[in-house]
Structure 1
Amino acid sequence: MRNLRPLCLLFAASFFAVYSRADEQPAAQLVAQTERTFSARCAEIGIRDSFLEYFTDDAIRFGPEPRLARPDLQQETSSNKVRLTWQPKIVRVASTGDLAVSTGPYVLQTETNKSSGYYLSIWKRQDDGAWKVAADIGVSGPSTTGLADDFQSYPDPPDQGAAADLLAYEREQFSPDLDLDHIYRSIASPETVFERDNQPPQSGQPEYAVFLYGQRTKRTKLSQAGGSTSGNLGFTYGAQSDDTSNVGYLRVWVLRNSRWSLMFDVLSR
């Protein structure tokens, strides 16, 4: 896959159809608009100050391992010389209406350089109704333009998941004794989106087959740091390592037929 348009169409047509198709709801539109406002604010006052405005007190960032974002941000100097902008292209809101995931392309512009990639953010609705970022990760990659928006909220599912169960499920699946292609065959599908540095997002049957082929004989050691669920949506994060590298991960899961299925899998070096 070379752009996100097939990705959006694929999400709408297959992955979420399992739930009798998620309907477009104001909550998803609100998260998308909050994301756009956040991006505009970042361009106006800079990364540090805008992130402090929009991140929860316990928000997680990656570098590459997960850690609390606010202590790092508070040590930085306020500046708008580095311009970071982004666009939400896919938003999903949990059936409970208080947890969401947003992803899309970003552009980072300095005085001498311009880079691009894709971000994935976890949003939580606060007690006052405002949405704030609970976890944020990004990977570098080729820029993409002209993408269709795909903002949806899930209807109430017949069952809901618990964070402890999701974390236990992830630990069970990511056995250090199993090759990664075997693990991903068990938890993922062709509709899962895999985001890696210096690559476009991978999703769809041909890309899924190529991805699995590349995971043969690879093994990893998982070090969970946390996670949360709400209704039929959940996320997990931590670090994983092999003999040569250590990366941070953020995964988004959706509950279907009483089983957690991997929606997004993002690794950041």
Structure 2
Amino acid sequence: MKQKKLFNIIFLMLFSFSSFAQKANGSVKSLIEVDEKMNYQLFKKGADHAFLKFSDDKTIIFNPAPKPVAEVYKKTKTKVENYQLEWKPEYARISKKGDLGFTSGRFEQIANGKKSYGVYLNVWRNVYDKWKLAYHAKTFQPQLVRETKFDYFEPKNNEYYKLIGPQKIQMRDDIVFSTDELFGKRLSAKNGNSYLSEFYDATVRMYLPGKYPTQGLEESLNFIVKNKLDFKSYPQGVTRAFSGDLAFTYGKASIKDKNYDYVRVWQQEEGTGKWNVIIDMYID
């Protein structure tokens, strides 16, 4: 996979984008545009400039442990020449209210002359009608060989139950956090992997360091069984859309006694209200 073939077509598209590209208008299209615009800034001015431009003081970077963006990237007028990072958004969703969403896909990194590959996850938060990074995480994997498939999802409808008051909003966050906590307890139990199908969505994607990403419940479970993986996880933080249909948790995990940080993307099932994991990402 040559770098020009994978990424540079995005940069040509970006010249036609107006300043609207960073604005959040409640559509997944605006999310893709801001992700691609940030990618262009990475190419043009480097990682420090790009991350600070698209972040705020609440942004968390997994490096691999969660850190405030200001601890990872510094203000500079000079592009760091021995470091390059470029990505391609291939998977994206947005909440019904349009206040939270994510983009994910392949990345290529060059550091000190060494090229590496992997999958990234950007969680975006709508701040006064502009998209700002909430979380950024990436996990290193072999060079991807699958044909690129673009999965961009708009909500099926924009109906949601509106909760008023900080206590009720916090209660929604607590429900997702508790679900992740329960997931971790199930995984720690005897034959813990048997509980994965209770929490994984049929479309789940699993991103593990050093391994090709899996797509779909069957492929993910077969991979876990084949590699004899056993999981433990402990949540530390949560972010949930105001509309209550999309959420993100992060925390500490271990797989076969090796320690990781993780980020999970949760989606609420229409009709039942059940929370399912659609991305299970581990970072080392």
TM-score by length of structure 2 reads 0.77
Q: Is this contact kept in 1: 2:237–2:251, CA < 8 A?
A: yes
- In structure 2, the CA distance between the partners of 1:245 and 1:116, relative to structure 1 (3 Å rule), is same
Aligned partner of 1:121 in structure 2 is: 122
Deviations 1:35-82 (A, max 9, x none): 111001011111112111112311112232222222222388953311
- Between the aligned partners of 1:196 and 1:77, the Cα distance in structure 2 is 35
1:159 deviates by 5.3
- In structure 2, the CA distance between the partners of 1:249 and 1:219, relative to structure 1 (3 Å rule), is closer
- Between the aligned partners of 2:139 and 2:190, the Cα distance in structure 1 is 26
1:80 aligns with 2:80: yes
1:220 deviates by 1.5
3-state SS of paired residue (1:165)? helix
- Between the aligned partners of 2:233 and 2:205, the Cα distance in structure 1 is 21
1:137 deviates by 0.9
1:243 deviates by 7.1
Question: Any unmatched runs of 5+ in structure 2?
Answer: 1-24, 163-170
- Between the aligned partners of 1:195 and 1:143, the Cα distance in structure 2 is 12
- Between the aligned partners of 2:39 and 2:45, the Cα distance in structure 1 is 10
Instruction: For CA contacts below 8 A with separation 6 or more, give which structure has more relative contact order.
Output: 1
Q: Is this contact kept in 2: 1:105–1:118, CA < 8 A?
A: yes
Aligned partner of 2:138 in structure 1 is: 138
Q: How does 1:47-126 map to 2 (within 5 A)?
A: 47-74=47-74, 78-81=78-81, 82-110=83-111, 112-126=113-127
- Between the aligned partners of 2:174 and 2:113, the Cα distance in structure 1 is 46
Q: Is this contact kept in 1: 2:230–2:256, CA < 8 A?
A: no
1:254 aligns with 2:267: yes
Deviations 1:87-126 (A, max 9, x none): 1111100011110011011111245221111101100111
- Between the aligned partners of 2:150 and 2:122, the Cα distance in structure 1 is 16
1:253 deviates by 0.4
- Larger mean CA deviation between 257-266 and 151-160 belongs to 151-160
1:203 deviates by 1.4
3-state SS of paired residue (1:55)? coil
- In structure 2, the CA distance between the partners of 1:217 and 1:146, relative to structure 1 (3 Å rule), is closer
- In structure 2, the CA distance between the partners of 1:96 and 1:240, relative to structure 1 (3 Å rule), is same
1:174 deviates by 1.1
Q: Is this contact kept in 1: 2:26–2:99, CA < 8 A?
A: no
Percent identical pairs in the alignment equals 18
Q: Is this contact kept in 2: 1:34–1:131, CA < 8 A?
A: yes
Q: Count residues in correspondence.
A: 243
- Between the aligned partners of 1:118 and 1:227, the Cα distance in structure 2 is 21
Question: Any unmatched runs of 5+ in structure 1?
Answer: 1-24
Letter of the structure 2 residue corresponding to residue 132 of structure 1: K
- Between the aligned partners of 1:228 and 1:218, the Cα distance in structure 2 is 26
- Between the aligned partners of 2:146 and 2:256, the Cα distance in structure 1 is 37
Q: Is this contact kept in 2: 1:252–1:265, CA < 8 A?
A: yes
- In structure 2, the CA distance between the partners of 1:144 and 1:41, relative to structure 1 (3 Å rule), is farther
Aligned partner of 2:282 in structure 1 is: 267
1:186 aligns with 2:188: no
- In structure 2, the CA distance between the partners of 1:221 and 1:124, relative to structure 1 (3 Å rule), is closer
TM-score by length of structure 1 reads 0.81
